[in-house]
Chains A and B, each alone.
Chain A
Amino acid sequence: MKLITRQSLLFFSAFIISGASTVFAADEATIQRGKQMYMSLTCFACHGQEGKGMVRKRDRKSKKTGNWKYRKGDPMPGFEAYPKLAGQNSKYLYTQMMDIFEGRRNNGMSAAMLGIKIMIDSTAKEGDLQAVADYLSQVRE
């Protein structure tokens, strides 16, 4: 009997690939850790809840005209230069974080984030920043 048939090859590849996908996707524990660290490392203060950006929490009408002054979800004044992170590629998020903290990226508001490096160095443990990136990448609308 032939050992390597087309069928067995297909079966074998499917087996390998299904295993590989668990290597690439972050597990539930990592995502939960990332969600927790996203809050305790103060990221939400500038990048908003769940990385969805700093936005208005309510609708507001102008008392004078009765027209909408702003709607819930509108950008928050003062934070226009801060990026939304939700759904961004995990690898990109992580490399940008490291580039900023290690001084390789210094454009725009990078200095604002570099300013929290002392806290990150003393608070974040091994794997925490990667976990935050993993968590953010799977946040959906």
Chain B
Amino acid sequence: MNTHIIKKTQKKLILVFTLSLFIFSSTVFAQTAAKLTSTEEFGGKWGTKVKEAIEAMKLEGNIEDGAIIYEEICQACHQPGGNGDPGGNFPQLAGQHSTVIIKQIADIRIGNRDNPTMYPFANIEALRAATEDIFDEEKSGPQTLSDVSAFIQTLPMSSAIVGEGVDLEHGAEIYKENCVRCHGDHGQGDVKNYYPVIAGQNYHYLLRQFRWIKDGKRRNANPEMVKQISGFSERDMLAVMDWVSRQTMIAGDWDSKK
């Protein structure tokens, strides 16, 4: 065999191979940077494939029933107004998007998010059993979840526990550069893509979750957020969380249209 031809073929093959590898990897990275994951595209680390969660998100939530369920199951720790405890141990749920509540409960149940304290309250069978005691008509687990999260979304977020208030200008600036794309211009989140409301959330809770997202301890964090905040300094974090804890929701923030 002519060695000269073999060498030429080999070189061509190597060239084609590295070129296609380059094209392939660049398109993959281009995809992940461009589109925000939508509710329809469940999957991967961020989206939820949990059957009951998907079902719950499709069901119409009965707010009246949700109020009764909330009082029975969630109120003990998250308080009657849904504002949580001052120390930020139990987060404010008030005003949170129903889809966010459903997704977090699902993540806790399947072990995507470590929260042993919440286990019995995220257990879909336990939720169904609890409402069996309250209502005469049987209610499925997903319906229970849909009802209670619809109710929670109607409660007013309190903005009661805020930071030191000494670096808010810096906080607003960093927020504008980093967080608006997903959390909105005033921390209102997105009900369709289940980006959480952070406006008015308890400052201590925000700090803890932010640290855990950054350190990888909160394993169900959106990977894009982990990347986005990797460069935040301690000062950045305190300033942004302080600014965020003082924001308030406005009418229209909960609409699905986007």
Contacts from A to B (Cβ < 8 Å): 42, 44-46, 54, 56-58, 60, 76-79, 82, 109, 111-119, 121-123
Contacts and interface: CB of A to CB of B under 8 A. Distances in A.
Interface in B83-105: 85-90
Contact of B85 (A82, A114, A115, A123): A123
Interface of B: 76-77, 85-90, 115-121, 123, 125-126, 129-130, 132-133, 204
A56 B85 CA distance: 27
A76 B77 contact: no
Given A42-B77, A45-B76, A60-B132, A116 B125 contact: no
Given A45-B76, A56-B133, A112-B116, A119 B85 contact: yes
A116 B90 CA distance: 8
A58 B133 contact: yes
Given A78-B120, A118-B89, A44 B76 contact: yes
Contacts, number: 63
Contacts of B129: 76-78
A45 B73 CA distance: 8
B14 to A, nearest CB: 54
Given A111-B116, A115-B116, A119-B85, A78 B126 contact: yes
B115 A115 contact: yes
A10 B188 CA distance: 76
Contacts of A123: 85, 87
Given A78-B126, A115-B115, A122 B120 contact: no
26 contacts: A45-B77, A54-B120, A76-B126, A76-B129, A77-B123, A77-B126, A77-B129, A78-B120, A78-B125, A78-B126, A78-B129, A79-B126, A109-B119, A111-B116, A113-B117, A115-B89, A115-B116, A116-B77, A118-B87, A118-B88, A118-B89, A119-B85, A119-B87, A122-B85, A122-B86, A123-B85
Contact of B89 (A79, A109, A116): A116
A42 B118 CA distance: 13
A46 to B, nearest CB: 7
B126 A116 contact: no
B116 A77 contact: no
Contacts of B120: 46, 54, 78-79, 82
A55 B60 CA distance: 30
Nearest to B136: A60
Nearest to A117: B89
A29 B8 CA distance: 94
Nearest to B85: A119
B116 A119 contact: no
Nearest to B122: A78
B89 A119 contact: yes
A118 B84 CA distance: 12
Given A77-B129, A79-B120, A116-B117, 13 more contacts: A42-B76, A46-B120, A76-B129, A76-B130, A77-B126, A78-B129, A82-B120, A109-B119, A111-B116, A115-B115, A118-B204, A119-B89, A119-B90
A109 to B, nearest CB: 7
A114 to B, nearest CB: 8
A88 B12 CA distance: 80
B126 A121 contact: no
Contacts of A56: 133
A40 B87 CA distance: 14
